[in-house]
């Protein structure tokens, strides 16, 4: 039965097209791996865990409705080279850092599903082997694939926002990005609302679908409020787009708010009335920290260390130590790029501390 469910998930999904880009954003029901991929260093070599059929079909931690990291970067127009990939991952980390610092304060049933969609897990092996966008011939493997990151899973909301944020930071026209973000988020919202649920689907998968749909709905409501605010203040296209990203991010993962079916209407009403404000979502009660933090599936040193070797090729590549990643957080991937601030570096170290 588990094999059948994974096979269904592998062929279930949609492709969002973007003008001028040959690679679509694949939205799928992604079954999440229940554990970190393991590797052990023995001298200078790497000993990999045996990848048996039994291990591929072991119980998962549930599912999200979203996209793989590889599909997100391809949709964003990021070249598969090490340099371009590192730059894109850096932008993704900077965009999600505020979310990572506040997602633990979210209350309600949607909380765990929202966290699962923030690069916390890989797609389970039995599914990723069946995903067309995940296949890479041995002689054509991307830097992302060689470092074990291509199958990191992000929810549809994070995937849509991060893809367009990467575009905006890569020099794309602000108006074109804003229009693309509106079209993509609207279409993704329609697909989530009408996603067919198979008979016998687990409750946690249905809950994950509804949580993702609510998050994207909040983000779209905040986008409208941001556009109205930008127009009233005569902001430039670039400033208006950054305001929109900020408000959409805070609405999708509202710090301290209760996120579930019962509270969603009240949140949407507040977002449709006026701008998103941090005080609007101030925590009422402190909640226990999440056991899985956002970006936990991304190895720190593998993509933040500018000195990482292209030849360090293992599908399960992991950082050697948090100390090396912490030191690399302050250095830029591109010498001409502004480095992370100490505050950003602290946030990233906190999120990646479990590696």
Residue 299 lies in a domain: no
Closest CA to 27 of 157, 143, 135, 120: 157
Which is it for the CA torsion 192, 193, 195, 198, positive or negative? positive
Tens-place pLDDT, residues 320-345: 322 232 233 223 233 333 444 444 44
Tens-place pLDDT, residues 187-215: 999 999 999 876 556 778 899 999 999 99
Pairing mode of beta strands 63-68, 152-155: antiparallel
Residue 259 lies in a domain: yes
Residue 41 lies in a domain: no
Mean per-residue pLDDT, 305-315: 35
Cα distance between residue 296 and residue 108, in whole Å: 22
Residue 336 lies in a domain: no
Instruction: Answer with the residue of higher pLDDT: 290 or 250.
Output: 250
Closest CA to 352 of 321, 306, 308: 321
Residue 95 lies in a domain: yes
Q: Record the pTM.
A: 0.77
Question: What would the 3-class secondary structure string for 182-226 be?
Answer: HHHHHHHHHHHHCCCCCCCCCHHHHHHHHHHHHHHHHHHHHHHHH
Residue 31 lies in a domain: yes
CB 41 within 8 A of CB 95: no
Least confident of 134-143, 168-177, 239-248, 306-315: 306-315
Closest CA to 293 of 80, 117, 46, 65: 117
Average pLDDT value over all residues in the chain: 75
CB 333 within 8 A of CB 275: no
What confidence category does residue 102 fall into, taking pLDDT thresholds of 50, 70 and 90?
A: confident
Instruction: Answer with the residue of higher pLDDT: 276 or 126.
Output: 126
CA-to-CA separations, 253 to 54, 158, 187, 247, in angstroms, rounded:
36, 10, 20, 10
Cα distance between residue 291 and residue 229, in whole Å: 37
Please give the tally of structural domains in the chain. 1
Task: Look at residue 116 and tell me whether its pLDDT is greater than 60.
Answer: yes
pLDDT of residue 198: 67
Chain centroid to CA 29: 14
Q: Structural domain of residue 137, as residue ranges?
A: 2-36+52-282+309-318
Beta pairing partners, 242:
none
Mean per-residue pLDDT, 232-244: 95
Residues in the chain: 355
Least confident of 92-96, 195-199, 284-288: 284-288
CB 247 within 8 A of CB 222: yes
Cα distance between residue 289 and residue 20, in whole Å: 42
Chain centroid to CA 24: 16
Residue 253 lies in a domain: yes
Pairing mode of beta strands 21-31, 118-122: unpaired
Mean per-residue pLDDT, 16-38: 82
Residue 175 lies in a domain: yes
Mean per-residue pLDDT, 276-302: 51
Q: Assign residue 275 a region (left: φ > 0; alpha: ψ between -120 and 50; beta: otherwise).
A: beta
């Amino acid at each position: 039965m588990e094999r059948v469910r994974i096979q269904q998930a592998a062929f279930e999904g949609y492709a969002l097209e973007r003008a001028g880009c040959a690679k679509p954003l694949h939205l799928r029901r992604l079954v999440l791996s229940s554990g970190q991929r393991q590797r052990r260093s023995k001298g200078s070599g790497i000993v990999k865990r045996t990848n048996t059929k039994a291990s591929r079909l072991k119980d998962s931690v549930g599912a999200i409705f979203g996209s793989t990291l590889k599909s997100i970067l391809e949709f964003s127009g990021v070249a598969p080279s090490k340099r371009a990939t590192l730059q894109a991952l850096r932008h993704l980390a900077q965009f999600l850092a505020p979310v990572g610092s506040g997602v633990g304060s979210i209350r309600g049933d949607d909380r765990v599903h929202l966290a699962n969609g923030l690069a916390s897990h890989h797609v389970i092996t039995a599914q990723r082997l069946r995903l067309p966008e995940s296949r890479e011939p041995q002689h054509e493997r991307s830097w992302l694939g060689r470092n074990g990151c291509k199958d990191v899973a992000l929810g549809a909301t994070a995937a849509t926002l991060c893809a367009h944020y990467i575009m905006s930071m890569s020099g794309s026209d602000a108006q074109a990005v804003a229009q693309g973000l509106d079209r993509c988020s609207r279409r993704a919202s329609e697909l989530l609302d009408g996603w067919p649920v198979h008979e016998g689907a687990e409750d946690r998968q249905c809950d994950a679908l509804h949580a993702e749909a609510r998050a994207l709905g909040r983000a779209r409501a905040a986008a409208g409020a941001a556009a109205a605010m930008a127009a009233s203040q005569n902001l430039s296209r670039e400033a208006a787009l950054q305001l929109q990203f900020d408000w959409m991010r805070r609405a999708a993962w509202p710090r301290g708010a209760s996120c579930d079916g019962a509270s969603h209407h009240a949140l949407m009403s507040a977002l449709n009335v006026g701008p998103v404000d941090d005080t609007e979502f101030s925590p009422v009660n402190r909640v226990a920290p999440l056991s899985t933090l956002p970006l936990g599936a991304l190895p720190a040193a593998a993509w933040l260390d500018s000195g990482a070797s292209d030849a360090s090729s293992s599908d399960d590549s992991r950082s050697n130590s948090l100390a090396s990643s912490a030191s690399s957080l302050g250095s830029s991937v591109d010498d001409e790029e502004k480095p992370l601030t100490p505050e950003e570096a602290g946030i990233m170290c906190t999120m990646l501390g479990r590696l």
